[in-house]
Structure 1
Amino acid sequence: MTIDAPLDAPAVSAPLNGLLTSPILPTLLRLAIVAIGGWWLASIDAPAWTLFALVGGGMIVLGLGTALSIRVTRWGPLKRLARTHAMSEKAAARLAKPQI
């Protein structure tokens, strides 16, 4: 697979700007909940349904956390372009215009 955009394009450097960091954090939280909770449930010989309930609770945490992180993240292209290239939004708007 080839990428036609230059390496400093906003679409390529977006993960480095923290846009994808916020949805990853709930995933790590779910992993911690299921790993620690699963270890604890296994150590006390809990019934199988409690493990399924733990995994379901972890999925709820993942869904709500991801929805919240996507809601609070600024996804605007001009602001992201301006932040990526350290320029004003006006300059980013000029850069984002298609050149004919």
Structure 2
Amino acid sequence: MREKPSSAQEAREFIKGYSAGHATTVGSVLVTNLKTGARKGGFDTAEIYFHKIPDEVIENLISEGDVLYVAGGLMVEHPLTSPFVDQVVGTIDSVMGSQKP
């Protein structure tokens, strides 16, 4: 489980870990009716497969800084990243944590 990276070095390690590999995202929602106590919930997953991400691209992403503020340290929709996304199984909304019911 990966949160936002705590440093540039951790972001670098995260992104290198995705390079020529894959990641799975899991999003969930639980809603509770405070009057009745009834709960309903669900989850959604997506898998992202990557080509090799060159070190130069990784360094440019870290220099830019946005990867330090997102869970997992990578935005698949980012212009520097998207050319290295081989396949998304699921939806991009699921990857970004904004899946629709």
Q: TM-score, normalised by structure 1?
A: 0.28
Q: TM-score, normalised by structure 2?
A: 0.28
Bigger relative contact order, structure 1 or 2 (CA pairs below 8 A, ≥6 apart)? 2
